Structure 1
Amino acid sequence: MDFDHSDKVKALVAKLEAFMDANVYPIEHEIEGWNADPANRWQPWPGIEVMKEKARAEGLWNLFLPHEYGEFSPGLTNLEYAPLAEIMGRVPTSPEFFNCSAPDTGNMEVLAKFGTPEQQERWLKPLLAGEIRSVYMMTEPMVASSDATNISTTIVRDGDDYVINGVKWWISGIMDPRAKLLILMGKSNPEAPRHAQHSTIIIPRDTPGVSIVRTMRVFNNWHSPGGEAEVRLENVRVPASNLILGEGRGFEIAQGRLGPGRIHHCMRSIGQAQRALEVMCRRVENRVAFGKKLSEQSSIRRDVARSFCEIEQARLLTLKAADAMDKYGNKVAADLIAAIKIVAPRMAQTVTDRAIQVHGGAGVCDDTPVADAFLINRYLRIADGPDEVHMNQLGRLKIRQYNLQ
């Protein structure tokens, strides 16, 4: 693996860092304040479209979409995207400015890779243009959805339509008024082999029968404007042409979607951890307790050193996984994707916890970015599959591999 970025990536990194300095860091607290105000709940920050236009004009747009998607892609590999995602991750609200935020990124990849020309025309193009937002519906409240074979929402053929019934929860982004597209995974054939029972289907947000049971808070945060919610689907009817790829292909689609999504989360986690380390170092150099600077305390220096080592280790593993995805495909790189999904959020949670500690009371408020980053990485250890599932699958894979040698 070549550790030197290409001239193309170096130019994008410089442009993105300049954009963040000029446009994003100065308004970070303004956006957080808007999103936290109950009067603005489920309404996007008013400056978002202006910010998106600025990013698009700079060529900082849709950078996430892998190079193999031709006309839809800016031509970057996963490895080339990694440093860019890390920079965006430093401010959790910023990926949307560049049309690089979840769940839209994963949904765009699904449509680009598996969608019909008609599905791409209706849904992918407005997503790529940043004109609408989207939702992915997989997790359910009544079953352990970390084992996706448990998913029980039904997708039943009825003439020229499919009818969907079930309940989903922790559905991110569905409260955003710009969310026009729902992509749902459900059971279409309970008699088929275990991993051929499920399908993936497109549901327009305004389809009759889609209703919000309740909105849900994460660590007491509404995550406005997108939010999370429990959603009921009651006799939701959509044309058969809304099925993606075909009946029984749900697991194939989900794995194609979740691999890149998982590593994108890890790239952003590294950006949050790196920023926390930088904030921590500035704090300890400028804070005096018991007659000397915190930076002169050996325990503080050890925490800084450990944090640096842990970030670098996770960054290298992320780059190795991205490189393997580019060279050999997501399936071959599954072990490295699982490994970094285990490592990166835990690392970021540990580093941000140290940064919180050296800030004392300031560390748990919004005066710095570290408290928010800590919480984000705690729930990332559940999102896109809990740690235990990834460790179980990775352990099984390695045992099989080493016994075949």
Structure 2
Amino acid sequence: MNFELSDTLLELQQKTRDFIRNEIIPMEADPRFDSHGPHESLRRDLIEKARAAGLLTPHASREMGGLGLTHIEKAIVFEEAGYSWLGPTALNIHAPDEGNIHLMEEVATPAQKERWLRPQVEGHIRSCFAMTEPDPGAGADPSMLRTTATRDGKGYRINGRKWFITGADGASYAIIMARTEDGNATMFLADMDQPGIRLERNMDAMDSCFTGGHGVLVFDNLYVPEEDILGELGKGFRYAQVRLAPARLTHCMRWLGQARRANDAAVEYASRRHAFGKPLAEHEGVGFMLADNDMDIHTARLHIWHTAWLLDKGERCNFESSRAKVVCSEAEWRVVDRCVQILGGQGVTAEKEVMRIFTDMRAFRIYDGPSEVHRWSMARKIVHAAQKAREAAAAQQGGQA
């Protein structure tokens, strides 16, 4: 892997960095905000700023109006965008839309792309991804899916209840995961303004950086014509991996920007704030935390770049994206937690941006699979690979005999 960035990518990195500092961070004080995230009017204003800067939806293909970034290029740009909690919203690379855009580009029909994807890439509409369900339905284990899709003429009737559906409030369309009568999972596309979809409520959550918050959705005999099936019948879980492996990584990219922002605040404070006769940074306890932050940030970035490099080579990266998700979510969380400690009273109040980053980031260790589920999945693959290696070695020895 070559770690050298091209001149073109360095220019794009600097352009994004300047845009976030000069145009987006000043918007963080905008009052159009509540506990569920930025209001739609604020989102639209942020979108227009990115459009004017030529940075809107950079991960989308050029055919759809994006910049067609590779995964490595996304790693650079998304980290810079993530330096502000409003940056991903401005660039239209926030969750769940970023992952949905990628999935739609890979799987949707030309008609579906024109109906839903193109206006989404242009920043005019938002989407949600409806898979997670209340107990005893699908959560970290998607095989527990209980939402049903029953054949009805030339379409399907969907019934079920979903929750933790990010961006549901105000979304224009949903990608719905439901189980058909043969027991397989299928993805369906549906406009959110239909009578068969009801937003029951918005959930109170630790984070408040996603427009539309996290909703509870009820599907009551929602009719979806067969032309609105996303991809093929019965391949819902396969398409979920098409979406989730890159989406895990883009979470890591964006939150790395937030961790860097928190660390910059901590370094600045520790360098000028004096206690017991010298700057905080010269006290060993604080200095060690700053050094640990640097190591965690660098380690997270290396995992992101390596996995992005593999994705650009065409590898599936289910194992590597799980590994990166665990390493990055925990490393970046440690960085922000240390920054709160270094800032002391300012770290637990709105006097500094770090308190906001702290409350937003904690959920990252849950989103797109808890760390424990990824570790369990990785362990199974490690053991399976070792078993295959033993069988191959035994077969080779038998052949030589």
Question: TM-score normalized by structure 2?
Answer: 0.92
Q: 1:112 and 1:188, CA in 2 relative to 1: closer, same or farther beyond 3 A? A: same
Q: Deviations over 1:293-323 (max 9, x none)?
A: 2111011111111110111011101100000
Q: Which residue is equivalent to 1:364?
A: 348
Q: Which residue is equivalent to 1:122?
A: 115
Post-superposition offset of 1:47: 4.6
Q: Which residue is equivalent to 1:3?
A: 3
Q: Which amino acid aligns with 1:227?
A: G
Q: Deviations over 1:107-129 (max 9, x none)?
A: 11121111111111100111011
- 2:60 is equivalent to residue 29 of structure 1: no
Post-superposition offset of 1:376: 2.6
SS in 2 for 1:397: helix
Distance in 1, matches of 2:215 and 2:381, equals 34
Q: Which residue is equivalent to 1:159?
A: 153
- Verify the 8 A CA contact 1:209 1:235 in the aligned structure 2: yes
Q: Which residue is equivalent to 1:187?
A: 179
- Verify the 8 A CA contact 2:94 2:210 in the aligned structure 1: no
Q: 1:115 and 1:15, CA in 2 relative to 1: closer, same or farther beyond 3 A? A: same
Q: Which amino acid aligns with 1:218?
A: A
Q: Deviations over 1:61-101 (max 9, x none)?
A: 22223x6x855542321011101100111112211211211
User: In angstroms, what is the RMSD of aligned CA positions?
Assistant: 1.9
Post-superposition offset of 1:224: 6.8
Q: Which amino acid aligns with 1:199?
A: T
Match of 2:313 among 323, 327, 350: 327
- Verify the 8 A CA contact 1:346 1:377 in the aligned structure 2: no
Distance in 2, matches of 1:71 and 1:47, equals 24
- Verify the 8 A CA contact 1:222 1:228 in the aligned structure 2: no
Describe how 1:1-400 pairs up with structure 2 within 5 A: 1-30=1-30, 33-36=31-34, 44=39, 46-65=41-60, 73-142=66-135, 143-176=137-170, 179-191=171-183, 197-219=184-206, 225-329=211-315, 331=316, 333-400=317-384
Question: TM-score normalized by structure 1?
Answer: 0.91
Q: Which amino acid aligns with 1:7?
A: D
Q: Which amino acid aligns with 1:35?
A: F
Q: 1:144 and 1:46, CA in 2 relative to 1: closer, same or farther beyond 3 A? A: closer
Gaps of 5+ in 1: 192-196
Count of paired positions: 388
- Verify the 8 A CA contact 1:216 1:222 in the aligned structure 2: no
Gaps of 5+ in 2: 390-401
Distance in 2, matches of 1:189 and 1:229, equals 27
Post-superposition offset of 1:350: 0.8
- Verify the 8 A CA contact 2:38 2:209 in the aligned structure 1: no
